[in-house]
């Protein structure tokens, strides 16, 4: 990769991270806001260390620490994102963390391949670029894929969850979900969701009798209806793309 292309890609990465940071702040998504700030801080620190240390080292010396350094960076990012999102983990964030772990393993493997022993059974380590083989290519592909996955992971917030125990508010949510699904075409799924909502409403109405189990069962039935209908307060449809994005955020 040329220096100019690397510089352009670096700028794009920074602007995307800044954009996600502002978006998460405006949306009030605390875990994702802290995650994007964390990524910006790690990127800035890594960039400073790279230009002031790695890039000024002789090539023979740099190859001895380059892959170990970036292995450590991927581990720090992965552990940091896991800790920041441990209570609101999404499928997309889990995928990003897994890719970070895979990239760390591949970075370490390339370090071994170039500095300790050749992993393709050559007699000597594959120190020069002319001995590059598919292990290096796999590492580059994973590293390239990881950047857009990380951006998407810190943009997609957790799916909507019921966060109240007030029976009146819960009943209002039941009505909102019912309004959301009433225009669907007739199907077994629509009937199931409406049945769950009816049972939930009935249980919540009995909560006025002072029966705690009714509130609990009404809440659980509502949560199941929300899960099946992919309901969210700001959503007006439930198309395939919306369901796919919901799945990534689950």
- Give pairs for 78-86: CB < 8 Å, separation 24+: 78/104, 80/35, 80/38, 80/42, 81/35, 81/38, 81/39, 81/153, 84/31, 84/34, 84/35, 84/38, 85/31, 85/32, 85/35
The pLDDT value recorded for residue 4 is: 64
The pLDDT value recorded for residue 159 is: 81
Summarize pLDDT for 106-159 with one digit per residue, the tens: 999 999 998 888 888 787 887 777 788 888 889 989 988 998 899 999 998 888
Count of helix runs (H) and strand runs (E) in the chain: 9, 0
The pLDDT value recorded for residue 215 is: 78
The pLDDT value recorded for residue 6 is: 62
Q: Where are the domains of the chain?
A: 3-153, 167-249
- Could you give the CA distance from residue 95 to residue 122 in angstroms, rounded to a whole number? 34
The pLDDT value recorded for residue 5 is: 64
The pLDDT value recorded for residue 7 is: 64
The pLDDT value recorded for residue 77 is: 96
DSSP assignment of 56-95 equals TS-HHHHHHHHHHHHHHHHHHHHHHHHHHTTTS--HHHHH
The pLDDT value recorded for residue 101 is: 96
Copy the structure tokens of residue 31: 């875990």
Q: Which residue ranges in the chain fall short of pLDDT 50? A: none
């Amino acid at each position: 990769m040329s220096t100019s292309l690397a510089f352009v890609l670096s700028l794009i990465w920074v602007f995307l991270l800044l954009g996600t940071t502002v978006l998460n702040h405006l949306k009030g998504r605390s875990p994702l806001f802290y995650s994007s700030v964390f990524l910006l801080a790690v990127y800035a620190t890594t960039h400073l260390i790279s230009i002031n240390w790695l890039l000024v080292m002789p090539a023979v010396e740099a190859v001895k620490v380059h892959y170990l350094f970036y292995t450590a960076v991927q581990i720090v990012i992965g552990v940091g994102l896991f800790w920041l999102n441990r209570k609101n983990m999404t499928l997309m964030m889990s995928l990003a963390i897994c890719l970070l772990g895979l990239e760390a393993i591949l970075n370490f493997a390339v370090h071994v391949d170039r500095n300790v022993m050749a992993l393709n059974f050559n007699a000597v380590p594959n120190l020069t670029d002319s001995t590059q083989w598919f292990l290096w290519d796999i590492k580059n592909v994973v590293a390239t894929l990881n950047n857009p996955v990380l951006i998407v992971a810190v943009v997609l917030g957790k799916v909507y969850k019921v966060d109240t125990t007030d029976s009146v508010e819960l009943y209002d949510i039941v009505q909102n979900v019912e309004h959301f699904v009433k225009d669907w075409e007739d199907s077994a799924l629509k009937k199931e969701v409406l049945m769950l909502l009816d049972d939930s409403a009935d249980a919540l109405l009995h909560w006025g009798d002072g029966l705690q189990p009714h509130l609990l069962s009404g809440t659980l039935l509502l949560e199941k209806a929300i899960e099946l209908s992919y309901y969210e307060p700001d959503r007006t449809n439930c198309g395939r793309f919306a369901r796919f994005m919901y799945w990534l955020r689950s």
